[in-house]
Amino acid sequence: MASLKLFYTRNGATEVTPRLAEAEADVQGLVEGAMEAMLGVRFLASEYSTGSVHGGRIDSLGLDENGAPVIVEYKRATDPGVINQGLFYMGWLMDHRTEFQTLVGDRLGATAASQVLWSAPRLICIAGDFTRYDLHAVREHRRSIDLVRYRLYGEHHIAMETVAASVAARAKAPKRLRRIDAAGTSHPAQPSSAAIAYVASAVDELLLGLGEDVKKVRRQQYDAYQRLRNFACVTPRQDKVLVYLKAAPSAVDLVPGFTRDVTGLGHHGTGDLEVQLRCEEDVERALELFRLSYAAA
């Protein structure tokens, strides 16, 4: 973000100088007012008290698109203690699951409360900048942590950039599946359980390989791939692999049997563009759509 320049181009070109907020609360207010749009997180509570014994206040509590609990901590500028502070609150959260689920039930309803994904709690730290020790700590940590740098431009614009994220281990795709006919000619394998397993593994490798900030979250019904927000959700079927992307269906030339607009239609995961994959060639065709959705997340 340090090299990014913004210009106001009416009547010439005037550079809009980036700045930090006057106070931490200003950043918090901006994000909490549009948390779902900015982070893909449904807002639950602000300055949530952890009780007299623990003696703290969590800046923001939320629930992400996959049902994972989210703690958001803010710092106006650089604060080397932001990660440890967030992890301190994470420990409290994991010890007070019933209290959190009650909060979710009060804000979002009983269904959301019953589906909280406790296997993947998240910490998002938003600050003016981070130290190199912060960046290293996140990459080595087993918890899901995102470090997000912000800048304000003018009176009505905020820019946010993920500068480090803890990520899942990269999976290795299995060997290419082929079949040999009587003449000794090699052909792609016909759709089968083994072929679909290959397609699913190849999709997994491609999605994780789109960027160092990609994380995989497993749910019973689907696997989600996210930066700050989900950009792909994958559901294997017996005869195909379904991938739901955040890319806008209106921006894509839809191909029957390959891509479909599922806006308003119920399905597992998030995203309105459905991609149907049955073979390796389909995966190769879908790569640009994966990249488009990743860039939009």
What does the domain layout of the chain look like in residue ranges? 6-165, 178-296
Range with lowest mean pLDDT among 155-159, 180-184, 247-251, 293-297: 180-184
pLDDT tens digit string along 49-69? 998 878 899 999 999 999 999
Rounded to an integer, the average pLDDT of 188-206 is 81
Rounded to an integer, the average pLDDT of 283-295 is 94
Phi–psi pair at 51, nearest 5 degrees: 95, 165
pLDDT band at 184 (very low <50, low <70, confident <90, very high): very low
Q: Residue ranges of the alpha helices (H) in the chain?
A: 24-33, 35-39, 51-54, 82-95, 97-108, 110-114, 132-140, 193-208, 280-296
Distance CA 60, CA 70 (A): 8
Run of H or E residues at 2: none
Distance CA 267, CA 272 (A): 9
| Structure tokens belonging to residue 186 | 């090699």
Cα 28 versus chain centre, distance: 20
| Structure tokens belonging to residue 147 | 């470090």
CATH placement of domain 6-165: 3.40.1350
Distance CA 169, CA 152 (A): 34
Residue 155 per-residue DSSP state: T
CB-count exposure of residue 253 (10 Å: 0-12, 13-18, 19+): exposed
* Radius of gyration for the alpha carbons in the chain, expressed in angstroms and rounded: 22
- Whether the pLDDT of residue 161 is over 50: the answer is yes
- Whether the pLDDT of residue 192 is over 90: the answer is no
- Whether the pLDDT of residue 167 is over 80: the answer is no
CATH placement of domain 178-296: 3.90.1150
- Whether the pLDDT of residue 165 is over 80: the answer is yes
